Amino acid sequence: MADLQIIEALKSLLQKPLPGWQAQSTLMPQGRGELSNTEVLHHAAVLIALYPDQGEWYFPLIVRSQDGFAHSGQVALPGGRREGSETDIETALREAEEEVHLLAKDVEILGLTSPLPIPVSRHLVQPVVGFMRTSPDLRPDPREVAHIFSVSLLNFRKADIMFETRHFQGRDWKIPHFDIDGHKVWGATAMILSEFRQLLLKII
């Protein structure tokens, strides 16, 4: 069984003041748009779901299907837009179950990291952190998910921050990303995970 002390330590840290934007902005792409004070944001939530496997803790990431929307084809955490009167936790659990068959009933909530506004799609995303006591039977919904891969906390802790140059809006921009198991994790997902990693560095 993976070390539950890591889970307890993480739960404790999530009840304390969070690093927030200071940590998120470390992985902010150059040229990222800004929101106006009057812009209406759609509420959304994503799930960082830790689970044990061979004595380590892992969490799943997805590669989104090529659907033509703003985050098409990108690496992401399971999640999506809030429906009706849902809470952020209910949204994250429902979306994870729909997208990767991660059963909500098996997830114990540890807490929330800092919300992140996303200008390109006009969302305010709330990351939710939870854990499971057994490994889930992950299955992608092909309408939304092209591929699922899981990342160990130890490997994520050591993941390199890389930079590449991309040309848009008539100029070159530096884009930071995590290199995780051969996948480029950038944009909002990298910014969310940057704060999560800063918490992990206090534990492992």
- What distance in Å separates the CA atoms of residue 56 and residue 35, rounded to the nearest whole number? 39
Better pLDDT: 182 or 1: 182
- Give the pLDDT confidence score for residue 71 in this predicted structure: 53
- Which residues span the domain enclosing 21? 4-32+39-157+188-200
Residue 178 lies in a domain: no
Q: What percent of the chain has pLDDT over 70?
A: 95
- 132 inside domain: yes
In a domain, residue 75? The reply is yes
For residue 170, being part of any structural domain is answered with no
Other beta carbons within 10 angstroms of residue 146's beta carbon come to 14
Instruction: Give the CATH number of the domain where residue 140 resides.
Output: 3.90.79.10
pLDDT of residue 36: 65
- Whether residue 49 is contained in a domain is answered as yes
Tokens 């969070």 found at: 18
Tell me the DSSP string of 69-125.
Answer: STTTT-EE-SEEE--TT--HHHHHHHHHHHHH---GGG-EEEEE---EEETTTTEEE
Residue 192 lies in a domain: yes
User: Is position 183 within any domain?
Assistant: no
Q: Is the pLDDT of residue 31 over 90?
A: no
- pLDDT exceeds 80 at position 39: no
Q: What is the pLDDT of residues 60-114, one digit of tens each?
A: 999 998 765 545 679 999 999 999 999 999 999 999 999 999 999 999 999 999 9
Task: Name residue 81's beta-bridge partners.
Answer: 44
Number of structural domains in the chain: 1
Could you report the per-residue pLDDT of 116-158, keeping only the tens digit for each?
999 888 999 999 999 999 999 999 999 999 999 999 999 999 9
Taking residues 170-175, what's their average pLDDT?
86
Is residue 90, in this structure, part of any structural domain at all?
yes
Determine the pLDDT at residue 67.
Answer: 65
Q: Which residues contact 52 (CB under 8 A, 6 or more apart)?
A: 1, 2, 58, 132, 133, 134, 135
